[in-house]
Amino acid sequence: MGKVVVVTSGKGGVGKTTSAAALGAALAQRNEKTVVVDFDVGLRNLDLVMGAERRVVYDLVNVIRGEAKLPQALIRDKRLETLYLLPASQTRDKDNLTPQGVERVIGALKKNFDWVICDSPAGIERGATLAMRYADVAVVVTNPEVSSVRDSDRIIGLIDAKTVKAERGETMDKHLLLTRYDPNRAERGDMLSVKDVLEILSIPLLGIVPESMDVLRASNLGTPVTLADSQSAPAQAYFQAARRLAGEDVPITIPGEKRGFLGKLLGWRAA
């Protein structure tokens, strides 16, 4: 059975969809069969980031409503045979998502994939709660600024209350992915430091993705950054985050610093 990972955030514009695509591609590049599922019904941006917008015929809502079979809606990436996309609907609203339908689709995907990456819409509405409901692991994407961190704290509370694991009295593993980090701005006090964010959210750190034009260029090309330029700093950060997500012990280094983050901040642990 595969592992279900929800990539979520409280605030929009933090790089959640970009991160879902990059993590999915990074896991697929490890030769692990991976599907990325877009839960942002009504907007649908994941297909653009993955360069599959012209290949969408059926979507998640079609499958839930019985209008298409799951294999008909899945789109295999042309660059990686181990990477697939299940797109969201652009013409329906989120009321078309039902707990029973989502559970059925996620259950089917778990039987056929090593990783099921659920790209959640921002916020706390229906699409977001259903994206996290059947997850095994949560990746909370946050920018190092106060409003983003505050909203992420709210999302962590929802994960601990509104998921199947929570209802069973179990604790879901939650990991922090810090995006758009600029060490110069952090040093000037223009954004929160890594230590500040960790102290507020108190969840293990999965990775730090530096601010970089490489991410924007990759998105505009319709290619996950790990495929667009595997040697770029953001791509390397996502590769390392994927390794940690898979259970490897990979030291974390703050962008702009030479020594390992774990050696600097004793007491905090990486994911």
Residue 253 tokens read as 């280094």
Least reliable range by pLDDT among 22-36, 47-61, 86-100, 215-229: 86-100
- Chain-centroid distance, C-alpha 52: 18
Query: Where in the chain are the domains?
Result: 3-264
Please check whether residue 142 is in contact with residue 179, taking contact to mean a CB–CB distance below 8 angstroms: yes
Residues 11-17, mean pLDDT to the nearest whole number: 88
Would you state the pLDDT for residue 258?
Answer: 53
pLDDT above 90 for 179: yes
Which residue do the tokens 């778990």 mark? 110
Would you state the pLDDT for residue 31?
Answer: 96
Residue 260 tokens read as 């390992």
Which residue do the tokens 């592992």 mark? 3
Greatest CA span in the chain, whole angstroms?
54
Rg, C-alpha atoms of the chain: 17
Would you state the pLDDT for residue 267?
Answer: 40
pLDDT above 80 for 268: no
Buried b / exposed e over 121-131, threshold 16 CB at 10 Å, is bbbbebbbbbb
pTM: 0.92
Whether the CA torsion 62, 63, 68, 73 is positive or negative: it is positive
Q: Which residue has better confidence, 92 or 220?
A: 220
Whether the CA torsion 28, 48, 37, 234 is positive or negative: it is positive
Would you state the pLDDT for residue 50?
Answer: 95
In sequence order, what DSSP letters do the residues of 177-195 get, joined into one string? EEEEE-HHHHHHTSS--HH
Would you state the pLDDT for residue 25?
Answer: 98
pLDDT above 50 for 73: yes
User: What is the average pLDDT score of the chain?
Assistant: 91
Q: What is the CATH number of domain 3-264?
A: 3.40.50.300
Percentage of the chain exceeding pLDDT 90: 79
